[in-house]
Chains A and B, each alone.
Chain A
Amino acid sequence: SQTIHQWPATLVQPVGSPLSLECTVEGTSNPNLYWYRQAAGRGLQLLFYSVGIGQISSEVPQNLSASRPQDRQFILSSKKLLLSDSGFYLCAWSGTGGKNIQYFGAGTRLSVL
């Protein structure tokens, strides 16, 4: 069966520091991969998605970037965090055909202080 791992679960970082959140998927190949951000009490905002290695689509101009160095690995990064980068970050994967149901990781709560 397919599983998705996302870490760390919680992160507190100072303003101006770098960020690296990692997401890996097991049990499937060539998945679509997604990064979302959720502000407190709000819905999900799609940040990036990827349909293959090295293929990244950015949805919202921001202080963040994403990379997909391997088929089942998706990384969210920042060179210098801003206060506004605080939030709950969720990684998800889906198949490439049919229903395209997205399955989510457990999320990372990022606090930028």
Chain B
Amino acid sequence: AQKITQTQPGMFVQEKEAVTLDCTYDTSDPSYGLFWYKQPSSGEMIFLIYQGSYDQQNATEGRYSLNFQKARKSANLVISASQLGDSAMYFCAMRDLSGGYQKVTFGTGTKLQVIP
């Protein structure tokens, strides 16, 4: 079974609007971490936000927030006030005990395009 599932291959959003990128995960480990990365066309993977399984509140970093719904095993990324520079691939990822906490499993990504 896929450990990280991103069901949206591509998304469009109007500039200045908010957008939600979906991510569901699968683990039986009570302790795990969830990550989102941005990959612009240049190729570099840029860390955006982290959520720990025991964190009581949803993580936020500037315009990025992570909508963590533990019972549903979802960790959606919300980008508020989209900008043209947000156009990129976005990857959800997870580390858990099965990976020895050192390895991270990545989803297949969502391509976000911001429309002026």
**Residues in A lying within 8 Å of B, measured CB to CB:** 32, 42-44, 46, 49, 51, 59, 88, 90, 92, 94, 99-107, 109
Contact = CB atoms under 8 A, between A and B. Distances in A.
14 contacts: A43-B106, A44-B45, A44-B91, A44-B106, A59-B103, A88-B43, A90-B43, A100-B104, A101-B35, A102-B47, A104-B44, A104-B46, A106-B44, A107-B43
Interface of B: 33, 35, 37, 42-47, 50, 52, 91, 95, 101-104, 106-109
Contacts of B102: 32, 49, 51, 94, 100
Contacts of A32: 102
B12 to A, nearest CB: 18
A43 B43 contact: no
A84 B65 CA distance: 38
B89 to A, nearest CB: 9
Nearest to B6: A43
A107 B46 CA distance: 12
Nearest to B37: A104
B103 A109 contact: no
Given A32-B102, A99-B33, A100-B102, A92 B45 contact: yes
Contacts of A105: 44
B45 A90 contact: yes
Nearest to B42: A106
Nearest to B111: A41
Given A99-B52, A100-B33, A100-B95, 5 more contacts: A44-B91, A92-B45, A102-B35, A107-B43, A107-B44
Contacts of B91: 43-44
B31 to A, nearest CB: 12
A92 B39 CA distance: 14
Contacts of A92: 45
A90 B106 CA distance: 13
A103 B47 contact: yes
Contacts of B106: 43-44
B112 to A, nearest CB: 14
